[in-house]
Amino acid sequence: MSTQEKLISHVMKEEAVGCRNKVTVVGVGMVGMASAISILLKDLCDELALVDVMEDKLKGEAMDLQHGALFLKTHKIVADKDYSVTANSKVVVVTAGARQQEGESRLNLVQRNVNIFKFIIPNIVKYSPNCILLVVSNPVDILTYVAWKLSGFPRHRVIGSGTNLDSARFRHLMGEKFHLHPSSCHGWIIGEHGDSSVAVWSGVNIAGVSLQNLNPNMGADGDSENWKDVHKKVVDGAYEVIKLKGYTSWAIGMSVADLVESIMKNLHKVHPVSTLVQGMHGVKDEVFLSIPCVLGNSGLTDVIHMTLKPEEETQLVKSAETLWGVQKELTL
Amino acid sequence: MSSVLQKLITPLASSSAEPPRNKVTVVGVGQVGMACAVSILLRDLCDELALVDVMEDRLKGEMMDLQHGLLFLKTSKVVADKDYAVTANSRLVVVTAGVRQQEGESRLNLVQRNVNVFKAIIPQIVKYSPNCTILVVSNPVDVLTYVTWKLSGLPKHRIIGSGTNLDSARFRHLMAERLGIHASSFNGWVLGEHGDTSVPVWSGANVAGVNLQKLNPEIGTDADKEQWKATHKAVVDSAYEVIKLKGYTNWAIGFSVADLTES
């Protein structure tokens, strides 16, 4: 008898149940791995799968995570170039694709990343036909649309990480101004995750006290407190970090884990994420932009109707037109 | 700004800020340093985190990237500077600075290069946090923990090397995987040098108190038919293997440092 047989007896006759809360991360670059460890350190899944085309790097990352298994509550971490390893995932986080170079805008990445998605998305769908897709790769609003088209999934199961991170950055900056924790500073950035995002000043509040009521010029050019600059810092934030360390990873990783948490735990929490906004706020085209949405284990089940000023709606429509202009040239 | 602030908030206590109670500093913002920092943050272990390094742009970029995630964390302050003044009043200082093993290079080769780096770092740490505990991670960790003890003049109970915390974790993972159980349910200790000559204490290896050496008296020896010794060899080789595949190791050491920090 082997040591194992002397120690342990298997007593269950049926097949093991296997994973119930599996998460896959596609792409093991800096963003993918930051998302993976944020998800692992928050105990969000019972199995984690990693996929990438770079086989050595993939195997090395999986081993490094497995060596930390003692400190985690996720028993199974698997990785392969072959998508069969992703089977039965509840949530698939897509971070694969080219990233912005210094000074490059997100829209430049489009066609390169569409081609990558043509390979990835059908493979994901094949092995996890009921999963929820969470798209992170940039330009996220366009690529969420692309993932929706390529997957054939209903729109509630295709979510873009959108302005969840922009809003987090805004709330951090607001927190610094008032010496408060960001979670006590409320502000919503919606629309495009990028240069033309919209800061909804009317909603900015602390303990329900509207800051625009205290400062009616908030966000306008005449504003003595220059809130517009706070929004500009949010837009520029990614470019600045890229210039200093080459890429961004930690903040986006944590924001992805925040979204995965709401989905896996069925929290019905409201997050600013990218969804189909056709028919809302004057948007006519089939585009994805970030608005406040309710996330749970079915996916993105509800949207919140914000009361926007005319100039805010104009901005959303303008973003939608820019995105549609790019989308209609794509070969899917 | 001040008028909205005044209309909104009335301070009740005096305005001087309280010093942090559980401040952690991480020296070195390379892959290991940042993995330690993120693991510590995601486990809510400190009320303030300071980062130090000589590469100023990288340091500022890492600090900003963490600050952008503060909404999701329970640590209210993340600071960074080349100047060690930013580390003042730390309870724990994690030292990851220094050069790392190249592919195929042993940890002992790194010694003299890292001793020179430590001569610059350690006195600065002690200057600003004379009551801290120092956790040394840089390799070869056992030698550099000795070096830190000598350079700092701190009592030996406040100088700790991350040592075989990671080797033991790897050992428990690999052994547990062979048995189909969680790593935390396999008890086994690897002691001695963090490196090629580490010692797996087979006489203590057990699951639920059942001693494996009693079940298999040859366990860990060359005569062992089941070759359990290979599992320890895999532990020794694992860092080299991960380095060969992805260029460095960071996640496992990061989690293991957070584990020590928590205790």
Residue B91, min C-alpha distance to chain A (Å):
22
| Tokens matching residue B127 | 């200057």
Residues B124, B168, single domain; the answer is no
Evaluate whether residue A17 is within a structural domain: no
d(CA A315, CA A306): 14
- A235 touches A197 (CB < 8 A): yes
Checking if the pLDDT of B207 tops 90, the result is: yes
pLDDT band at A107 (very low <50, low <70, confident <90, very high): low
- A46 touches B233 (CB < 8 A): no
Checking if the pLDDT of B2 tops 90, the result is: no
A193 assigned to active site: yes
The pTM for the full model equals 0.95
| Tens of pLDDT, residues B95-154 | 999 987 777 777 777 788 899 999 999 999 999 999 999 999 999 999 999 999 999 999
Is this complex scored with an ipTM above 0.90?
A: yes
- For residues B238-251, give the mean pLDDT: 95
- A162 touches A198 (CB < 8 A): no
- A189 touches A170 (CB < 8 A): yes
d(CA A24, CA A19): 12
pLDDT of residue A331: 84
Taking only residues 10 to 39 of chain A, the set having a beta carbon closer than 8 angstroms to any beta carbon of chain B reads: 33-34, 37-38
pLDDT of residue A239: 93
| Tens of pLDDT, residues A42-99 | 999 999 999 999 999 999 999 999 999 999 999 999 999 999 999 999 999 999 998 7
State which residues form the domain around B208.
Answer: 164-247
Q: A160, A176, A195: which is the final residue of a domain?
A: A160
Contacts of B228 in chain A (CB under 8 A): 3
| Tens of pLDDT, residues B65-101 | 999 999 999 999 999 999 999 999 999 999 999 987 7
d(CA B150, CA B135): 14
pLDDT band at A106 (very low <50, low <70, confident <90, very high): low
Q: A135, A160, A185: which is the final residue of a domain?
A: A160
Q: Are B66 and A2 within 8 A, CB to CB?
A: no
| Tens of pLDDT, residues A267-316 | 999 999 999 999 999 999 999 999 999 999 999 999 999 999 999 999 99
| Tokens matching residue B242 | 């991960």
Q: For A173, what's the count of Cα atoms within 13 Å in the CB-facing half-sphere?
A: 24
Amino acid at site B173:
H
Of A3, A169, A241, the CB nearest to B212: A3
Checking if the pLDDT of B1 tops 60, the result is: no
Evaluate whether residue A35 is within a structural domain: yes
- For residues A108-118, give the mean pLDDT: 88
Contacts of B55 in chain A (CB under 8 A): none
Domain count, chain A: 2
d(CA B199, CA B191): 5
Going by C-alpha positions, the residue among A29, A255, A254, A75 that lies closest to residue B42 is A254
Evaluate whether residue B114 is within a structural domain: yes
Q: A160, A180, A196: which is the final residue of a domain?
A: A160
pLDDT averaged over every residue in chain B: 94
Of A8, A60, A240, the CB nearest to B246: A60
Evaluate whether residue B12 is within a structural domain: no
- CATH number for the domain that contains residue B214: 3.90.110.10
Among the options A193, A231, A271, A281, which is catalytic?
Answer: A193
Contacts of A169 in chain B (CB under 8 A): 68
State which residues form the domain around A41.
Answer: 22-160
Residues A64, A101, single domain; the answer is yes
Contacts of B9 in chain A (CB under 8 A): 178
Q: Is A244 exposed, middle or buried (0-12, 13-18, 19+ CB in 10 A)?
A: buried
| Tens of pLDDT, residues A115-172 | 999 999 999 999 999 999 999 999 999 999 999 999 999 999 999 999 999 999 999 9
Q: What percent of chain A has pLDDT over 90?
A: 92
| Tens of pLDDT, residues A195-228 | 889 999 999 999 999 999 999 999 998 898 999 9
Q: Are B8 and A181 within 8 A, CB to CB?
A: no
Residues A92, A230, single domain; the answer is no
Q: Does A209 touch chain B (CB under 8 A)?
A: yes
Q: Are B42 and A254 within 8 A, CB to CB?
A: yes
Of A60, A209, A245, the CB nearest to B61: A245
pLDDT band at B15 (very low <50, low <70, confident <90, very high): low
